[in-house]
Amino acid sequence: MGSEGAIVFDLNSLPIPNDSTINNNSIRNISSTDGGGRDVVLKPPRLVSLDVFRGLTVALMVLVDQAGGILPSINHAPWNGVTLADFVMPFFLFIVGVALALAYKKLPCRVDATKKAVLRALKLFVFGILLQGGYLHGINSLTFGVDILQIILMGTLQRIAIAYLLTAVCEIWLKREGVVRSGRSMLKKYKFQWIFVLVLTVTYTALLYGLHVADWKYQIPSENSAFSSNTTSVKCGVRGDTGPGCNAVGMIDRELFGIQHLYKKPTYARTKECSMNSPDNGPLPPNAPSWCQAPFDPEGFLSSVMAVVTCMIGLHFGHIIVYFKDHKDRIISWTNPSAGLVVVGFTLDFCGMHINKALYSLSYACVTVGAAGILFVAIYVMVDVFGFRKPTLVFEWMGKHALVIYILAACNVFPILLQGFYWKEPGNNFLRLIACEESVEGKTLLSISRAELEKDIGKESLVALEGDSLSVGAEESSDSEVISCKNEPPDSLSVGTGDCEGGRDIMFAGRKREYERGVAS
């Protein structure tokens, strides 16, 4: 029959009895005829667990983004260790790999597929720069735009774009011909992909522990000329260091992108060395290390190498879906490597190769991708094997619209849109009505202009600007007193002295920057 006479159905829309289960690959290209004699082509059913897993990851991301500042225990680990928030990125990368295996089951033309993959990755990368590079100034600011000399080049979407592109190219070009009948034959078919994974892992490990990190300097970018010449030196001269200040990951990013293009609020600012409220943000403690205020990109170049490895392991899980039809075979083929990776990861951490999200260490990659595999197996058994879809319908919907939800929620686009509509003055907006405002508890100020302050934190409930006076409210504690100051000269706000723990001066707490964010994120 001609193609114009074909009707295509999605089996997800067909009524299926509650007690029935359908294997994702047990039905392929089934065709029949309808009453009019036309061909009816039935699509293979969509693997629901993919959408549920992706949706659950999005929900987890929104949770940690919104509640991480309130509950530091679920926020990103300040440095070594792993928390709930640290699983979000690997879970996204893992499911991207799984989906790629299904998307490239059949390749009519490798060149065309490569062109499309490059274009998609490029779009995602540029979109990431637009959303996360500083163009959108965030909540409490009705301005936009970014100095291209200060724009942040790397971010979450950029890392996903890199991992997607390299994994897609591997799936398109690095696979041999042949029939897969067992796990061994599948490994032979994709042996060049595993060689690529091994090369990435060895290269990352060699650079992390083999590169010599020299002393370096940095400046805190500021519009205030009084602080433009402040330069801080970080003493390193070491090799194989995995601490915040002298690791090879940060050095490569500084050399490759330039320190002005790195993330200005690194997680290590919440370590005990850098925060009196650790694991939350807080004032600098006495004798804080010189690197505490230095920029550091958690989605940098070298750390993204292991992110590609995570995506490649997800690709392997997708291959199991393609070539293994029995539920039991799939579950066993997923569970064994997942559990093994978790064990290897914690073993490496115990031996000194610490679990570290910022560095995307080998132990972190093993633990998180292993956890992703175990969670995927659990969702697969519940949704695709036993057919329990009703409890996961919300996650399934979120998974089908993951990118839109990420942009609106995680990138603060939705709150910014709400804030753009106000009554008479910008302070009277929907965001203020529902109290979705940034907290500025414990903020220490040091010679910052009124305009810059308003641009940064807005006129919030904890900050009252009345005439020539500024007052910052904070909860009572030993290191966050109520601060008052006056304009001297009229166009600037400067803090004189204030009592902190141990009688430390506010000026000293501010160190060489115009203000210390305290617990504000």
Among the residue ranges 10-14, 23-27, 109-113, the one predicted with the least confidence is 10-14
The string of pLDDT tens digits covering residues 406-461 is 877 767 777 777 777 777 776 677 666 665 444 333 333 333 444 444 444 444 42
Torsion over CA: 494, 496, 499, 505 (sign): positive
Q: Given this model, what pLDDT does residue 352 score?
A: 92
**Collapsed DSSP state (helix, strand, coil) of residue 32:** strand
Which residues lie across from 464 on neighbouring strands?
471
Among the residue ranges 23-32, 138-147, 369-378, the one predicted with the least confidence is 23-32
pTM of the model: 0.76
45: tokens are 């059913």
Which residues lie across from 422 on neighbouring strands?
429
**Collapsed DSSP state (helix, strand, coil) of residue 465:** strand
Query: How deeply is 493 buried, as exposed, middle or buried, from its count of CB atoms within 10 A (0-12, 13-18, 19+)?
Result: buried
Residue 115: partners with Cβ closer than 8 Å, 6 or more residues away: none
* CA-wise closest residue to 153 among 137, 124, 132, 138: 132
**Region 328-354 average pLDDT:** 96
Question: In this structure, which amino acid lies at residue 85?
Answer: A
pLDDT for residue 88 is more than 60:
yes
The ranges assigned to domains in the chain are: 48-415
Q: Given this model, what pLDDT does residue 428 score?
A: 74
Q: Are 159 and 89 in contact (CB under 8 A)?
A: yes
Q: Given this model, what pLDDT does residue 329 score?
A: 94
Q: Given this model, what pLDDT does residue 432 score?
A: 66
Beta-carbon count within 10 A of 444 CB: 26
CA distance linking residue 352 with residue 376, whole number of Å = 29
Strand (E) or helix (H) holding 478: none
Q: Which residues of 287-309 are buried (b: 16+ CB within 10 A; e: fewer)?
A: ebbebbbbbbbbbbbbbbbbbbb
* CA-wise closest residue to 156 among 13, 41, 4, 299: 299
**Region 201-225 average pLDDT:** 85
**Region 355-383 average pLDDT:** 97
Peptide bond preceding 45 in cis form (omega within 30 of 0): no
Q: Kindly report the average pLDDT of the chain as a whole number.
A: 76
Rounded to whole angstroms, what are the CA distances from 439 to 112, 412, 443, 460, 483?
Answer: 50, 15, 9, 9, 16
CA distance linking residue 249 with residue 247, whole number of Å = 6
Q: Given this model, what pLDDT does residue 347 score?
A: 97
pLDDT for residue 326 is more than 50:
yes
Q: Given this model, what pLDDT does residue 56 score?
A: 95
393: tokens are 């319908």
pLDDT for residue 6 is more than 50:
no
Strand (E) or helix (H) holding 7: strand 7-9
396: tokens are 């399934």
The number of angstroms, rounded, from the C-alpha of 252 to the middle of its chain's C-alpha atoms is: 20
Q: How far apart are the first and last CA of the chain?
A: 62
Q: Are 78 and 278 in contact (CB under 8 A)?
A: yes
Q: Given this model, what pLDDT does residue 215 score?
A: 95
Q: Given this model, what pLDDT does residue 282 score?
A: 86
Q: Given this model, what pLDDT does residue 70 score?
A: 78
**Region 300-305 average pLDDT:** 95
User: In terms of pLDDT, which residue wins out, 450 or 151?
Assistant: 151
User: In terms of pLDDT, which residue wins out, 303 or 68?
Assistant: 303
Angular region, 206: left φ>0, alpha ψ -120 to 50, beta rest: alpha
User: DSSP secondary structure string, 387-400?
Assistant: ---GGGHHHHHHHH
User: DSSP secondary structure string, 194-215?
Assistant: HHHHHHHHHHHHHHHHHSEE--
CA distance linking residue 398 with residue 415, whole number of Å = 19
Q: Given this model, what pLDDT does residue 231 score?
A: 85
CA distance linking residue 244 with residue 106, whole number of Å = 45
**Region 202-214 average pLDDT:** 96
Q: Residue length, the chain?
A: 521
Helices (H), 214-326: 248-256, 301-323
Q: Are 180 and 209 in contact (CB under 8 A)?
A: no
When pLDDT is cut at 50, 70 and 90, the band that residue 133 belongs to is confident
* CA-wise closest residue to 482 among 438, 511, 443: 443
Q: Given this model, what pLDDT does residue 202 score?
A: 97
pLDDT for residue 31 is more than 70:
no
Q: Are 100 and 190 in contact (CB under 8 A)?
A: no
CA distance linking residue 286 with residue 501, whole number of Å = 10
Backbone angles phi, psi at 263, to 5 degrees: -65, 135
The string of pLDDT tens digits covering residues 237-288 is 999 999 999 999 999 999 999 998 999 889 999 999 999 988 888 888 988 9
Peptide bond preceding 279 in cis form (omega within 30 of 0): yes
Under DSSP, the state recorded for 76 is P
CA distance linking residue 71 with residue 280, whole number of Å = 9
pLDDT for residue 106 is more than 70:
yes
How large a percentage of the chain has pLDDT more than 90? 49
The string of pLDDT tens digits covering residues 473-521 is 333 333 333 333 333 333 333 333 333 333 222 222 222 223 333 332 2
Q: Given this model, what pLDDT does residue 333 score?
A: 95
